[in-house]
A and B are shown apart, each in its own frame.
Chain A
């Protein structure tokens, strides 16, 4: 007798170790915490998309973020600069992805729509929402994580790489 479906776990669950991931995650959390301690704001990264569109569109959907749009630009610039510090000091120059532009573009459109319909992204729901034990955010994270896993596995199975 043999099992009809043999689940073969990867030989190594953490081929790149865990310290890089854990230290990075702690810093991501600390960045959010620093802002929260000083301002009471639980910052997410995706509202920047809508709030920045308020500079160029009169739509009320975007204008509602007028009051927060300037600090969201500063937050995003901080993210870019913080990553640039890493790149200059540790990475040794620029790094570029091999993932095909069409995947980035089409995926980006879905991310842009989904995060606005679903009220948050990996930082708003995933870090701040889960951190505040929000049931809405936990459901949001489980949903996008499950769908993303299925999508990535399908795309990979279809032979799309990178």
Chain B
């Protein structure tokens, strides 16, 4: 059984949903779902966003470090807890730079954009539409 297998654990989807709920609530609570807050950070008017990024990375870092030392496989998928690292190549720099231009122009990144829709920001559909268009253009 795996995350993509045909017979999934009955709790697989409920857990994904709950994880997404907490994730999205956190983005809304931190106000990172507001492009203005991200732009204030990038313009050095409010450094609070550093706490969102590092706070989240520290929490996940602790879990990613400890979990593989306590058990080998995840209960709902049977997948191992090993690190699945992305390979480094020039694309990481090129793509990162393109992402940076978009993030700096709009104040929006994928997760925060979905959360922004959740806080009632229908105007964000421009950004979500743009992201889908960009991902499509990149793929064809």
Contact = CB atoms under 8 A, between A and B. Distances in A.
A47 to B, nearest CB: 9
Interface residues of B, number: 114
Interface in A40-76: 40-46, 48-50, 52-53, 57, 59, 61-62, 67-68, 71, 74-76
A3 interface: no
Contact of B21 (A13, A15, A31, A144): A31
B26 A24 contact: yes
B117 A107 contact: no
A110 B103 CA distance: 8
B20 A108 contact: no
A interface bracket (residues with beta carbon within 8 Å of B): 35 or more
Q: DSSP majority for the B interface?
A: helix
Contacts of A107: 101-108, 127, 130
A57 B50 CA distance: 37
Contact of A144 (B31, B50, B97, B131): B97
B114 A108 contact: no
A104 B126 contact: yes
B111 A17 contact: no
The A contact surface, by secondary structure, is: helix
Contacts of B75: 38
A145 B52 CA distance: 14
A148 B59 CA distance: 25
B129 A110 contact: no
Contacts of B19: 31-32, 34-35, 38, 43, 75, 78
A5 interface: no
Contact of A127 (B60, B87, B105): B60
Given A15-B45, A87-B119, A91-B119, A25 B54 contact: yes
A132 B29 CA distance: 24
Nearest to B18: A34
A51 B50 CA distance: 29
A5 B43 CA distance: 18
Interface in A129-161: 129-137, 139-141, 143-156
Contact of B127 (A46, A104, A127): A104
19 contacts: A14-B47, A15-B46, A21-B52, A28-B23, A32-B59, A36-B67, A67-B3, A75-B16, A81-B24, A86-B119, A90-B29, A96-B121, A114-B134, A117-B94, A117-B95, A117-B138, A122-B110, A134-B85, A147-B103
